[in-house]
């Protein structure tokens, strides 16, 4: 059979691809910098702290200089300049340092491909940075758990273009310089070289030792959307980041990705601001995302002034965006972090949080019990109050000299010991959550009047932080409620199933009682078992009820103690080797209390005492009546043993569940049950233990 001849075009494409791969393999492509490898490991370790990052950054002079430069810039500096690298990293925070170091390492890597060539890599770097920022923002909503991995994939997603430029400098230079439309570039690469820059980038990433899924994300980031829908989450993130990175007009339809147009617009705005800030950190003036052409930037004065204005706006907005917001499902934590960040950012000493609750603006200070702020209330709407009016979305600055100040502002001025107030509205998705009020001196107030972008940006970020914390808290509460409901249903189902065998056993015992009526002792034992079965049934019923408050009944205490002791004899044969001493005061009146709970307390205490005296000993039970200082009568029940005493770890958590050391199925819950039941009975439980034994006293109102 003759072999099937392949089309000439296919053979030519295969030969071109093979030729390109040989050129790539033979080219002196840069190795991945060691510092970048170490930074990648740190980015994957959420527990990595200042010391680990400082150790890596300190090994690279360029990285050290870059981190120090940013830390000493007006963007971050507060008062005295940091003296060393550790101080710089502590000032910036680990996340910011990791971002700076990662960007610097990748930027240096790009420069190694340049090798002194004539190509301008600034637009290339700008596009890589844009996609990296988009990928980091897209990772959470698209379900990718590693945001820093997505960021690095975005930085390196077009590394294949540099690899082809290095391996084929003459042949690829024209494509690198002239084609910025990705689809046209891919078609030209496929036609001329047999493979695309995405495939070349994946090959290089694999050579550098990146994981297969990371390499696949680079390889497939230009795939058509339908085929990407079922891909790994990192591939989806990088694909969408590339699409958005090329967008110059209206956003594509984001509904298939679970994103609303509003969420997409907000994401693009955040990325735009972050990109400008990073460019400012590195002293690079980047072209607008998606701008056509890669010509070198001119020094045109008008362009420079526009870019300077953009940089100032970016600085203002990102001073808020780079602050260490917590990822907590706790409004208290988020509110405290907001106030701390405001004091750091605006260099103020005092701040107050007021939240909207039930048609009022209320002072909020859960972590400061000495604050009087919580006593402030302002009914809404309140047009006479500048603080309340700021809920409309516009920050407001008022001073003590303002003759139109409403009383709430005057109260706040005194509480914050300030000459002026800055009211920052906290809005989230159009809903007014509250106002952050900063206490200012007059100089700071005047300075902030000239920085409306900074003030407005911080207010937006603060509202977003608080809103997200509240939303996470609501989700957590809902999840807890769902778990509780499932648990309650399971309890009810179990109780239903348990009630059947309990009923059967009780009926059989009744039959046995009739057949053995001639034996008084046997009949008494059967009655005891039936009473215990009924008690178990009542306990199980109470477990399935939302409230456990049965009516107290008259209980003959001494009879109850004797019956509990008899039950323990039947359940613990080892009680026979223990000397028993009963000292029961016969004049004790009936107690109005819960019979079952009191029985349960006594059984647990007796069982614990018997277990403590494995080699024998003495168990004492006594009752007495006494009067407290107010003349009220108390009934005391005492259970004492001559065992070795309670271990120190048990004493430290006396009435809380502990890990049992007894073995044999013990759960370590006995004393915790005793403590809970005593509290429910309104009793006082005391414990005294030495090496000579342990004594529990239970005091009940007579």
pLDDT tens-digit series, residues 369-412? 677 887 888 888 888 888 889 999 999 899 888 877 888 888 88
> pLDDT higher for 73 or 106?
106
**Confidence tier at 620 by pLDDT (50, 70, 90):** very high
State the DSSP code for 335: H
Q: What is the pLDDT of residue 320?
A: 39
CB-based contacts of 200, cutoff 8 Å, min separation 6: 20, 24, 160, 161, 163, 164
DSSP 34-52: HHHHHHHHHHH-TT--HHH
Give the mean model confidence (pLDDT) for residues 71-100. Answer: 69
Cis peptide before 121 (omega within 30 of 0): no
Q: Which of 89-93, 356-360, 532-536 has the highest mean pLDDT?
A: 356-360
Higher pLDDT, 384 or 290: 384
Tokens at residue 365, please?
């200070």
The stretch 661-688 carries a mean pLDDT of 69
3 state SS of 484: helix
CA angle 399/401/404 to nearest 5° reads: 85
Rounded CA-CA distance 457/316 in Å is 7
What pLDDT shows up at residue 319? Answer: 42
Most confident segment among 32-46, 100-114, 247-261, 649-663: 247-261
* Nearest residue to 272 via CA among 317, 306, 227: 317
Strand partners, 554: 592
The pLDDT of residue 621:
92
pLDDT of residue 46: 62
Identical fold between 331-476 and 553-701 = no
Domain extent listing, the chain: 1-27+118-322, 31-116, 331-476, 553-701
pLDDT digits over 437-471, tens only? 999 989 888 888 888 887 888 888 888 888 888 88
Looking at per-residue pLDDT, the higher value among 124 and 497 belongs to: 124
Percentage of residues of the chain with pLDDT beyond 90: 7
Instruction: Report how far Cα 358 is from the mean position of its chain's Cα atoms.
Output: 28
Please tell me the distance from the alpha carbon of residue 123 to that of residue 292, in angstroms, as a whole number. 10
Domain boundaries 553-701, corresponding CATH code:
3.30.565.10
Task: Please give the pLDDT value at position 549.
Answer: 53
Segment 322-343 mean pLDDT: 63
Name the residue with higher pLDDT: 309 or 48: 48
Q: How many residues does the chain have?
A: 702
Of the ranges 97-111, 170-184, 638-652, the best mean pLDDT one: 638-652
Residue 91's CB is within 10 A of a number of other CB atoms, namely: 18
- pTM score of the predicted model: 0.45
Superfamily of domain 331-476: GAF domain (3.30.450.40)
Q: What is the DSSP letter of 299?
A: -
Q: Rg of the Cα trace of the chain?
A: 37
**Burial (Cβ within 10 Å: 0-12, 13-18, ≥19) of residue 240:** buried
Would you state the structure tokens that stand for residue 496, as one six-digit string?
């239903």
Asked whether residue 619 carries a pLDDT value surpassing 70, the answer given is: yes
What's residue 321's pLDDT? 41
Tell me what the mean pLDDT of segment 72-81 comes to. 61
pLDDT score, position 465 = 81
pLDDT at position 659? 46
**β pairing state of 617-627 and 578-584:** parallel
* pLDDT on residue 64: 77
> Under CATH, which architecture does the 1-27+118-322 domain have?
Orthogonal Bundle (1.10)
Cis omega (within 30 of 0) for bond into 398: no
Summarize the confidence of residues 84-104 as an average pLDDT: 74
Least confidently predicted of 57-66, 159-168, 244-253: 57-66
Asked if pLDDT for residue 37 goes beyond 60, the answer is: yes
- Three-state DSSP class for 432? strand
User: What is residue 367's predicted lDDT score, i.e. its pLDDT?
Assistant: 66
Q: What is the mean pLDDT of residues 557-565?
A: 87
Q: What is the mean pLDDT of residues 609-627?
A: 87
pLDDT per position as a tens digit, 97-115: 777 777 777 777 777 775 4
Instruction: Give pLDDT tens digits for 202-242.
Output: 888 888 888 888 899 998 888 888 888 888 989 999 999 99
- Give the strands of the sheet with 420-428, arranged side by side: 377-379, 360-364, 350-357, 431-440, 420-428, 396-399
Please write the tens of the pLDDT for every residue from 648-674.
777 766 665 544 444 443 334 557 778
**pLDDT mean over 410-416:** 88
pLDDT at 509: 67
Q: Which two tokens stand for residue 56?
A: 């890596």
Quick one: pLDDT band at residue 9, thresholds 50, 70, 90? very low
511-525 tens-digit pLDDT: 666 666 666 666 666
Would the pLDDT of 424 be above 80?
yes
Q: What is the model's pLDDT at position 543?
A: 62
């Amino acid at each position: 059979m003759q072999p099937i001849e392949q089309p000439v075009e296919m053979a030519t494409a295969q030969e071109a691809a093979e030729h390109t791969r040989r050129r790539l393999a033979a080219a002196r492509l840069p190795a991945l910098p060691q510092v970048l490898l170490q930074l990648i490991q740190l980015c994957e370790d959420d527990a990595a702290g200042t010391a680990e990052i400082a150790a890596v950054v300190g090994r690279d002079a360029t990285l050290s200089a870059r981190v120090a430069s940013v830390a000493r810039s007006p963007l971050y500096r507060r008062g005295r300049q940091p003296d060393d690298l550790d101080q710089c990293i502590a000032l910036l925070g680990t996340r910011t340092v990791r971002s700076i170091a990662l960007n610097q390492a990748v930027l240096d890597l790009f420069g190694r491909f340049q090798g002194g060539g004539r190509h301008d890599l600034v637009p290339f770097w700008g596009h890589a940075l844009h996609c990296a920022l988009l990928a980091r923002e897209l990772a959470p909503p698209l379900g990718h758990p590693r945001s820093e991995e997505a960021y690095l994939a975005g930085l390196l997603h077009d590394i294949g273009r540099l690899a082809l430029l290095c391996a084929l400098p003459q042949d690829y230079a024209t494509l690198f310089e002239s084609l910025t439309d990705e689809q046209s570039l891919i078609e030209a690469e496929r036609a001329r070289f047999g493979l695309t820059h995405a495939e070349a980038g994946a090959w290089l990433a694999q050579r550098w030792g990146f994981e297969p899924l990371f390499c696949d994300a680079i390889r497939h980031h230009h795939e058509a959307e339908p085929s990407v829908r079922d891909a790994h989450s990192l591939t989806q993130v990088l694909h969408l980041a590339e699409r958005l990175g090329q967008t110059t007009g209206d956003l594509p339809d984001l509904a298939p990705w679970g994103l609303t147009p509003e969420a997409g617009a907000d994401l693009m705005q955040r990325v735009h601001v972050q990109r400008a800030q990073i460019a400012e950190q590195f002293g690079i003036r980047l072209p607008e995302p998606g701008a056509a052409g890669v010509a070198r930037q001119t020094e045109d004065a008008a362009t420079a002034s526009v870019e300077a204005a953009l940089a100032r706006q970016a600085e203002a907005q990102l001073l808020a965006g780079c602050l260490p917001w917590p990822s907590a499902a706790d409004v208290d934590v988020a509110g405290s972090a907001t106030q701390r960040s405001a004091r750091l950012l605006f260099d103020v000493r005092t701040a107050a949080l007021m939240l909207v609750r039930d048609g009022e603006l209320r002072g909020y200070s859960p972590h400061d019990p000495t604050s009087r702020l919580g006593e402030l209330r302002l009914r809404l709407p309140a047009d006479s109050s500048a603080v309340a009016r700021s809920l409309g979305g516009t920050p407001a600055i008022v001073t003590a000299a303002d003759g139109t100040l409403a009383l709430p502002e005057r109260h706040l001025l005194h509480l914050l010991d300030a000459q002026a107030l800055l009211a920052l509205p906290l809005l989230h998705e159009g809903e007014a959550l509250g106002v952050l009020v900063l206490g200012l001196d007059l100089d700071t107030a005047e300075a902030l009047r000239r920085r409306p972008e900074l003030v407005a940006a911080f207010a937006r970020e603060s509202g977003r932080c608080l809103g997200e914390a509240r939303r996470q808290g609501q989700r957590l509460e809902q999840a807890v409620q769902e778990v509780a409901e499932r648990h309650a249903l399971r309890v009810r189902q179990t109780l239903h199933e348990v009630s059947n065998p309990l009923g059967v056993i009780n009926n059989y015992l009744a039959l046995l009682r009739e057949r053995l009526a001639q034996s008084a002792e046997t009949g008494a034992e059967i009655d005891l078992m039936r009473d215990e079965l009924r008690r178990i049934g009542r306990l199980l019923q109470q477990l399935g009820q939302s409230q456990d408050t049965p009516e107290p009944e008259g209980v003959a205490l001494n009879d109850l103690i004797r019956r509990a002791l008899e039950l323990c004899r039947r359940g613990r044969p080892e009680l026979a080797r223990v000397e028993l001493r009963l000292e029961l005061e016969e004049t004790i009146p009936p107690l109005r209390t819960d019979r079952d709970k009191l029985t349960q307390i006594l059984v647990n205490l007796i069982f614990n005492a018997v277990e403590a005296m494995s080699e024998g000993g003495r168990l004492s039970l006594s009752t007495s009546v006494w009067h407290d200082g107010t003349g009220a009568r108390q009934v005391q029940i005492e259970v004492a043993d001559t065992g070795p005493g309670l271990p120190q770890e048990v004493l430290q958590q006396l009435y809380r569940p502990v890990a049992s050391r007894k073995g044999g199925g013990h759960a370590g819950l006995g004393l915790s049950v005793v403590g809970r039941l005593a509290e429910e009975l309104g009793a006082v439980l005391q414990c005294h233990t030495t090496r000579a034994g342990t004594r529990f006293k239970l005091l009940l109102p007579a």
